[in-house]
Amino acid sequence: MSWVGAHGGAGTSTLAEMVGGRDLGRRWPDPSQGEPGRVLLVARTHGSGLRAASRALEALHSGEHPAGVDLLAVVLVADAPGRLPFHLAQRVRVLRSVADVHRVPWVPGWRGEKRTGPVPRTIRTLAELAGTQLAHSKKREKKR
């Protein structure tokens, strides 16, 4: 399974570290070169992140990717604690209308080099979706 960022700083490295899979940065995988074609597309929940996710989905829909790429879901990583402003929540609803969307909440303990604190339930769901085991399975689950 491949993590693809819709933009820089989306969180692909952190998610690959937590869940497993291959972090491909901002490029689509090339299954003909042995890269996993199953993709989780990652974006932050700020305005430019959601716009980048929309553009990436448009590119995927129009076939601007190597053959064999299969989108599993869009993963939206919170850019700040708390609820999204209404206009951003509307953009999330639009994304949900065209793809499965999983939201990763703000985790203060992930800001440092070591990932500390509880693992959000969404991360466990993503591991199941990806068919991997959590790298940080010893952490207790955060109910969100």
* 12-17 average pLDDT score: 94
Report the range of poorest mean pLDDT among 17-26, 56-65, 73-82, 123-132.
123-132
pLDDT at 136: 53
Report the range of poorest mean pLDDT among 11-20, 48-57, 112-121.
112-121
Per DSSP, 13 falls in state H
The model's pLDDT over 78-96, given as tens digits with 9 standing for 90+, comes to 999 999 999 999 999 999 9
pLDDT at 74: 98
For the chain, percent of residues with pLDDT exceeding 90: 75
Stated pTM of the model:
0.89
Distance CA(142)–CA(95), nearest Å, equals: 25
Amino acid at 5: G
Report the range of poorest mean pLDDT among 73-77, 105-109, 137-141.
137-141
Q: Give 80: exposed, middle or buried? Use CB within 10 Å, 0-12, 13-18, 19+.
A: exposed
What does pLDDT average to over the chain? 90
